[in-house]
């Protein structure tokens, strides 16, 4: 899989212009192909220097459903969108530069906006296997690009109709192109936590068990 780069604070307004496709509008070729990760590069010959963390979620209310993300997946499309037009999408990017300076930028996108994300097909397969027949919502998508270890990670947070809360993380190791899933399971507040300075992922509490699997086919 070709690895993308994250939206950066510098480019977020430009990227928003490409990504703000409404369900009612005809999508252009540019919009259809633009991933949530921008094609932005650092100034020194295109080398990437910054650590970035991007969070996508929804704010507002819907008449018959909670305001949350839902995935739209097919062999040619992989989007997340908010569940209704009164539910707006919020994209927050936290950037740490090579000097340790942190900047945060938040963009609110209108209801109906769609943003392309990676590993959505893998996530949908995971939910079908782990929570078969149970409806669910995506409460947030977190995307990490460490800029040092050349790792790119996507974490899905979800809530099921039966009240189960959980996360699943996918990692693309840029150095060797290997793709894996990382799933922390347990009765505590069990989630995957990423440390960009070291490239390590750990579970958030002692009673978590970490399950790591290779992904032969990235969707």
The answer to the question of residue 196 being in a domain is: yes
Give pLDDT, residue 129. 95
Give pLDDT, residue 13. 30
Which residue segment(s) compose the domain that 124 sits in?
Answer: 12-214
Give pLDDT, residue 46. 43
Rounded Cα–Cα distance for residues 133 and 111 (Å): 28
Give pLDDT, residue 157. 96
Q: Domain count of the chain? A: 1
Residues of the chain with pLDDT under 70: 1-49, 148-149, 174-176
Half-sphere exposure of 92 (CA within 13 A, CB side): 12
The answer to the question of residue 110 being in a domain is: yes
Does the pTM surpass 0.85? The reply is no
pLDDT digits over 57-102, tens only? 999 988 888 899 999 988 888 889 998 888 999 999 999 887 888 9
The answer to the question of residue 152 being in a domain is: yes
Q: What share of the chain is helix, strand, coil (3-state, %, to 5)?
A: 10, 45, 45
Give pLDDT, residue 145. 87
């Amino acid at each position: 899989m070709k690895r993308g780069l994250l939206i950066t604070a510098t480019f977020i307004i430009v990227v928003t212009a490409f990504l703000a496709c409404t369900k009612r509008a005809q999508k252009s070729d540019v919009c259809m192909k633009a991933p949530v990760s921008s094609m932005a590069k650092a100034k020194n010959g295109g080398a990437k220097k910054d650590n970035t963390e991007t969070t996508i979620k929804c704010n507002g209310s819907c008449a018959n459903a909670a305001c949350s993300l839902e995935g739209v997946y097919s062999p040619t499309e992989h989007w997340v969108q908010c569940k209704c037009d009164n539910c707006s999408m919020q994209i927050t990017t936290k950037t740490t530069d090579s000097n340790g300076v942190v900047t945060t930028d938040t963009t609110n996108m209108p209801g109906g906006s769609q943003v392309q994300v990676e590993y959505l097909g893998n996530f949908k397969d995971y939910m079908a296997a782990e929570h078969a027949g149970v409806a669910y919502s995506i409460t947030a998508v977190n995307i990490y690009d460490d800029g040092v270890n050349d790792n790119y990670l996507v974490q899905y947070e979800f809530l099921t109709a039966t009240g189960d809360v959980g996360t699943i993380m996918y990692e693309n190791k840029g150095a060797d192109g290997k793709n894996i899933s990382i799933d922390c399971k347990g009765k505590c507040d069990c989630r995957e936590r990423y440390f960009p300075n070291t490239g390590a992922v750990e579970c958030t509490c002692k009673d978590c068990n970490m399950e790591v699997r290779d992904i032969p086919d990235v969707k």
